């Protein structure tokens, strides 16, 4: 890792990690991606410095659910207006936006603080 000192602020050169999601279970894949985004896989991990990698996920439409989760899970989308809640079943969401399933799972595995949005921007999903 190269630290470049520009105006007193250290910058981090991020590595790019490519993951193939075909045949992988959603939750296990999401926790692996969250670890890379936080930088916890690195030996020089420090919680106050964001050294996470850029993660490119391929074949997000070929992820696997275990058990009956495919039929039972429902995603809720809200417009924050009265009556603005929409329900999307997992099969319908899978054919419309398959990357949204893994994006949702990764988001809720990251810490809920000010770094969450910056880390989610480093997740690139290619279906």
Q: What is the reported pLDDT for 2?
A: 54
Q: What is the reported pLDDT for 99?
A: 94
Mean pLDDT of 70-96: 93
Q: What is the reported pLDDT for 6?
A: 54
Q: For the chain, give the percent of residues with pLDDT over 90.
A: 83
Is the pLDDT assigned to residue 3 strictly greater than 60?
Answer: no
Cα–Cα distance, 98 to 82 (Å, whole number): 28
- Best CA proximity match to 48, nearest among 12, 82, 76, 20: 12
Cα–Cα distance, 38 to 53 (Å, whole number): 8
Mean pLDDT of 29-46: 95
pLDDT tens digits for range 42-69: 998 988 888 999 999 999 999 999 999 9
- Rg of the chain in Å (alpha carbons): 17
What rounded mean pLDDT belongs to the chain?
A: 91
Instruction: Tell me the backbone φ, ψ of residue 61, rounded to 5 degrees.
Output: -80, -5
- The residue ranking higher by pLDDT, 3 or 121, is 121
How does DSSP assign 29-66, residue by residue? HHHHHHHHHHTTTSTT--TTS--PPEEEEE-GGG-B--
Q: What is the reported pLDDT for 7?
A: 60
- Best CA proximity match to 74, nearest among 49, 92, 58, 47: 92
Q: What is the reported pLDDT for 47?
A: 87
- Domain chopping of the chain, boundaries: 14-65+98-126
For the domain spanning 14-65+98-126, the CATH number is 3.90.1180.10
Mean pLDDT of 117-127: 94
């Amino acid at each position: 890792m190269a630290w470049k000192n520009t105006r007193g602020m250290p910058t981090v050169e991020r590595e790019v990690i490519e993951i193939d999601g075909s045949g992988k279970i959603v939750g296990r894949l999401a926790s692996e991606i969250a670890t890379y985004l936080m930088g916890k896989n690195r030996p020089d991990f420090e919680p106050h410095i964001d050294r996470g990698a850029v993660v490119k996920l391929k074949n997000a439409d070929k992820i696997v659910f275990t058990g009956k989760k495919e039929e039972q899970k429902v995603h809720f989308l809200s417009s924050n207006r009265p009556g603005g809640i929409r329900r999307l079943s997992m099969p319908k969401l899978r054919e419309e936006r398959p990357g949204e399933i893994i994006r949702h799972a990764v988001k809720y595995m990251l810490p809920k603080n000010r770094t969450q949005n910056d880390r989610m921007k480093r997740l690139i999903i290619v279906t």
